[in-house]
C-alpha cells in the first residue's frame, strides 16, 4: 500500500523560528543536533530564504558549546551553519579572499568570527548568500511529496532474527516518530555486518517521507555492504535531496557493483546535478572500475 504524505505544513518564513530554539548543533552527524536543528534540515531548500534573512540577526544564541567560539555565537551565525548543512557549501566558500586565507592558514573559525562581528559585514555576507542563491536555486528542487511504502509485516519476519539488539532496532523502524526511526537506523549503521538481517527493512526506508531517515538508511546500507541493496541504492540516485543522492553514491562506490557504473555516469551528465554529488560519483566510478581491473 502506498500513501501520499507531506513533509511539513509550515510556511517557508515559519521555519526560522526554530533558530531561536536550537540548543545543540551537531559536531559530525545530523543526529547529534537537537530537534529544532533537525526541523530546519528537514525543511531543506524551503528554509534557505529565511535563513539568509537571519544572517544579520545579532541576538545571542543559547548553544551548548561543542567547539571553540560556540559560546559567542549569534542567531545569524547559527543561520549560516544551517545554510551550510542544507546547501553543501564549504565553510569558507563565500568568504572574502582575505578572510578565506585567514581561515585556511591561520585562525580557522576565529577568522570568520572576527570578520562577521565587524560593523556592516553581516549585511555584506548576507548579500553574498543572496546572490549565490539567486544564481543556484535551480539546483534545489521544491518537491516535498513522497511515496511512503509500508514496512514488511514484522511479526512474520522478526521471528527469524536471533540477534536481540538488532531485532529491537528493527522494531523501532516501525515508529511513527521520525526521530526514533532516525535513531534506530543510526544504531543499525554502527552495528555494520551484524545488522545484515535489517537490510530488507532499511531498503524500505529509502522511501521514507523524512529526508534524514532516508539519508541514515542509505548510510546504514553502506556500512553493512550487502549486495541486495545495490539496485535499491541505484534507484535512490533519483531522490530529490542532494544529501541522500550523495550518500547513495558513496554507498555504491563502497559496495563496488559494476551495475552502478552506468547510473553514476548518468549523474555526471546532468546539468543541474549538485556539484558534491558529481564529485562523489567520479570517485565512486574510479573505485568500482579499480576493483574490476
Q: Which neighbouring-strand residues pair with 214?
A: none
Position 223 in a domain: yes
For residue 158, pLDDT beyond 70: no
Tell which wins on pLDDT, 37 or 142: 37
> What's the pLDDT band for 1 if we cut at 50, 70, 90?
very low
* Structural domain containing residue 218: 151-292
Cβ atoms of 95 and 103 within 8 Å: the answer is: yes
Residue 98 neighbours by CB distance under 10 Å? 10
Q: Are residues 179 and 128 in the same domain?
A: no
E strands present in the chain = 2-6, 145-149
Position 146 in a domain: no
Position 264 in a domain: yes
pLDDT given for residue 26 in this prediction: 84
Position 145 in a domain: no
Q: Looking at 139, 164, 186, which one is the last position of a domain?
A: 139
Q: Are residues 8 and 135 in the same domain?
A: yes
**CA separation for the pair 121, 135 (Å, rounded):** 21
Q: Are residues 98 and 180 in the same domain?
A: no
- Condensed to tens digits (0 to 9), the pLDDT of residues 59-79 reads 999 887 566 556 688 999 999
Q: Are residues 188 and 280 in the same domain?
A: yes
Q: Are residues 167 and 198 in the same domain?
A: yes
Q: Looking at 139, 171, 186, which one is the last position of a domain?
A: 139
pLDDT given for residue 4 in this prediction: 30
Q: Looking at 113, 139, 165, which one is the last position of a domain?
A: 139
> What's the pLDDT band for 12 if we cut at 50, 70, 90?
low
Position 144 in a domain: no
Q: Which of 40-44, 134-138, 154-158 has the lowest mean pLDDT?
A: 154-158
Concatenate the DSSP letters of all residues of the chain into one string.
-EEEEES----GGGGGGGGGG-----SS-GGGS-HHHHHHHHHGGGGHHHHHHHTT--PBP-----STTGGG-BHHHHHHHHHHHHH---TTTTS-HHHHHHIIIIITHHHHHHHHTSTTHHHHHHHHHHHHHHHHGGGS----EEEEEPPP-HHHHHTT---HHHHHHHHHTT-S-HHHHHHHHHHHHHHGGGGGGGHHHHHHHTT-S-HHHHHHHHHHHHHH--GGGHHHHHHHTT-S-HHHHHHHHHHHHHHT-GGGHHHHHHHHT-TTS-HHHHHHHHHHHHHHHHHH-
Q: Are residues 98 and 181 in the same domain?
A: no
**CA separation for the pair 236, 268 (Å, rounded):** 16
Q: What is the pTM of this model?
A: 0.84
Helix, strand, coil share of the chain (percent; to 5)? 65, 5, 30
pLDDT given for residue 280 in this prediction: 96
**CA separation for the pair 172, 180 (Å, rounded):** 7
Whichever domain contains 247, its CATH number is 1.25.10.10
Burial class for 79, CB neighbours closer than 10 Å (0-12, 13-18, 19+): buried
- What's the distance, CA 181 to chain centroid? 15
Residue found by looking up cell 543522492 in the block:
245
6: helix, coil or strand? strand
Q: What percent of the chain has pLDDT over 90?
A: 68
Number of domains making up the chain: 2
- Condensed to tens digits (0 to 9), the pLDDT of residues 80-129 reads 999 999 999 999 999 999 999 999 987 888 899 999 999 999 999 999 99
Amino acid at each position: 500500500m502506498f500513501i501520499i504524505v507531506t513533509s511539513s505544513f509550515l510556511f517557508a518564513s515559519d521555519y526560522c523560528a526554530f533558530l531561536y530554539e536550537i540548543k545543540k548543533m551537531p559536531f559530525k552527524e545530523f543526529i547529534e543536533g537537537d530537534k529544532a536543528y533537525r526541523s530546519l534540515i528537514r525543511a531543506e531548500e524551503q528554509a534557505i530564504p529565511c535563513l539568509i534573512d537571519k544572517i544579520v540577526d545579532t541576538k545571542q544564541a543559547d548553544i551548548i558549546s561543542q567547539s571553540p567560539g560556540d559560546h559567542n555565537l549569534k542567531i545569524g551565525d547559527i543561520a549560516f551553519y544551517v545554510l551550510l548543512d542544507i546547501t553543501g557549501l564549504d565553510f569558507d566558500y563565500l568568504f572574502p579572499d582575505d578572510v578565506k586565507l585567514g581561515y585556511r592558514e591561520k585562525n580557522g573559525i576565529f577568522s570568520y568570527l572576527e570578520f562577521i562581528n565587524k560593523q556592516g559585514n553581516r549585511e555584506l555576507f548576507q548579500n553574498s548568500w543572496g546572490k549565490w542563491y539567486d544564481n543556484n536555486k535551480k539546483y534545489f528542487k521544491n518537491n516535498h511529496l513522497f511515496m511512503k511504502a509500508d514496512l514488511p509485516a514484522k511479526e512474520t519476519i522478526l521471528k527469524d532474527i536471533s540477534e536481540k539488539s538488532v531485532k529491537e532496532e528493527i522494531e523501532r523502524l516501525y515508529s511513527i516518530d521520525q526521530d526514533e526511526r532516525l535513531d534506530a537506523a543510526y544504531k543499525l549503521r554502527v552495528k555494520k555486518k551484524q545488522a545484515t538481517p535489517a537490510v530488507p527493512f532499511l531498503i524500505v526506508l529509502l522511501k521514507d517521507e523524512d529526508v534524514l531517515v532516508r539519508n541514515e538508511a542509505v548510510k546504514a546500507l553502506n556500512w553493512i555492504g550487502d549486495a541486495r541493496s545495490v539496485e535499491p541504492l541505484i534507484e535512490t540516485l533519483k531522490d530529490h535531496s542532494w544529501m541522500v543522492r550523495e550518500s547513495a553514491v558513496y554507498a555504491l562506490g563502497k559496495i563496488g557493483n559494476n551495475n552502478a557504473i552506468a547510473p553514476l555516469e548518468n549523474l555526471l551528465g546532468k546539468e543541474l546535478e549538485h556539484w558534491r554529488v558529481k564529485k562523489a560519483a567520479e570517485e565512486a566510478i574510479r573505485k568500482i572500475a579499480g576493483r574490476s581491473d
